[in-house]
Each structure stands twice: as structure tokens, then as C-alpha cells.
Amino acid sequence: MSAVIEAVGVLVPARDEAAGIARCLRAVRVALAEAGLPSRVCVVADRCRDETAEIAAGYADVVVNETPLAMGELRNLGVARLPARGWVLSTDADTVVPPNWVVDHLRHARAGADAVAGMADLDDPTALGAETLGRYSRLLAVGTHAYAANLGVRADMLHRVGGFPAVASAEEHALLARLRAAGGRVVHATDVRVRTSARTRGRAQGGLADLLRGLGA
């Protein structure tokens, strides 16, 4: 029987995202308020050369990292600051979540999901060519991709499997594989959506920006 969800935690890795981190965190706070559970937000400021950490401190707990780490390791720094009994959400600093984001995740969690992989719409689809946008739209329609910008995991399961794997990229896929291997129920939810940057040059290797650039190749 799944553990009762007593709280919600949100982790946000960020590197040189001073321009957008406040907008991201304001949206997260609105979504957490809609859910009405105790909550904590942790931003992992990764080797930032701008004011990302200082801005984020007005909205969240901040962990400052100055060591080169794999993306999975960075997300685990945030996990360590979040409630151990509850639902852990992952998003990105260039992403804006809707007000119903947390509520939608919890609906699937309470129906028995151990992890929810939601979809990521683009904030400016016109920034891509028609062919690239079409390819990405077809990827969304299939609904089996996973995005670290829109991922939720039951905290007890996350800790049971040892957190995010220490991989340089695609840590969300590696985590879901680890959860499935441990008997966890993973739901790909096309009704749980966020809006994220359409940029094709991102901060993290192997992230959505690389995917979009690859689709345009």
C-alpha cells in the first residue's frame, strides 16, 4: 500500500537563470497553494555566474553548488532538502507551471501512481520551423516521452531506489527505468502539462534544447 502523501516538495536546478527564475518560482508557489498541503521548494543553483541564487532565495530554499556534477546528482541535492513523506516534483528554471500543476500530479498519485511523467508544451512554438514543430507535436501526441521539467515521484519510492541516477543527461528516463525495475507504477500523463522554453541552446547537455535541435536536424 502506498504511503500517504503528507507534503509536496519541488526541486528546481538552475544555472545562470536570473532572467526567468522568479517567474518560474512564482508559478510554483501558486500551484502549491492550490494543493493546500505543507510544501517546500528547493533551488539548486549550479555554478551560477549571475544572480540566480540571490533571486531564488526570495522564493525558495537555495543550495549553491560549485562543483561539476551530473544532472542526476544536482537533482538529488534538491531532493535531500524536501519532505521525505510526500510527493516530489521536478521542474526547470526555464519552465512555468500552471496553477493546477500540483493538483493534477496528486490526482494521479492518489489513484496509485508512483511516478507521473507529464508533458512539456513550448512557450514560443513560432521560434521553431514548421517541420521541427510538427515533429515535436507528434512526440507530444504519443505521450510516452518524459521531461525533468514535469516529473513527479512518490518520495518513499524515490528514496527506495536511491534517488536520481548519477547520469550526465536524461536523468528522468534513467530514474523511471529504475522505478519500473523496483516495481513502481509509472504513469505518462498527457493531461499534466507545463510550458517550457523553446530555446535550442540550453544549459544542460542532453536536455530539451538538445532534443529540439535534433528534431530540426
- Per-residue pLDDT tens digits for 25-34: 999 999 999 9
- Per-residue pLDDT tens digits for 45-70: 999 999 999 999 999 999 999 999 99
pLDDT in the model for residue 82: 97
The Cα–Cα gap between 146 and 140 comes to: 10
Closest CA to 24 of 84, 97, 81, 73: 97
Q: Between these two residues, 140 and 101, which has the higher pLDDT value? A: 101
β-pairing, 95-96 vs 186-196, is antiparallel
Starting at the edge strand found earlier in the chain, the sheet holding 115-122 runs: 61-65, 39-46, 8-14, 87-90, 151-154, 115-122, 186-196, 95-96
Percent over 70 (pLDDT), the chain: 89
pLDDT in the model for residue 130: 79
Q: Between these two residues, 190 and 142, which has the higher pLDDT value? A: 190
Cell of 154: 512518490
DSSP 3-state of 213:
helix
Is the per-residue pLDDT at 95 higher than 60? yes
- Per-residue pLDDT tens digits for 113-168: 999 999 988 877 777 777 777 777 777 777 678 889 999 999 999 999 999 999 98
pLDDT in the model for residue 1: 47
Query: How far from each other are the two terminal CA atoms of the chain, in whole angstroms?
Result: 46
The Cα–Cα gap between 84 and 40 comes to: 11
Q: How many CB atoms lie within 10 A of CB 66?
A: 9
Is the per-residue pLDDT at 90 higher than 90? yes
Cell of 31: 500551484
CA 103 to the chain's CA centroid: 15
The Cα–Cα gap between 69 and 76 comes to: 11
The Cα–Cα gap between 172 and 67 comes to: 21
Cell of 158: 524515490
Q: What is the pTM of this model?
A: 0.89
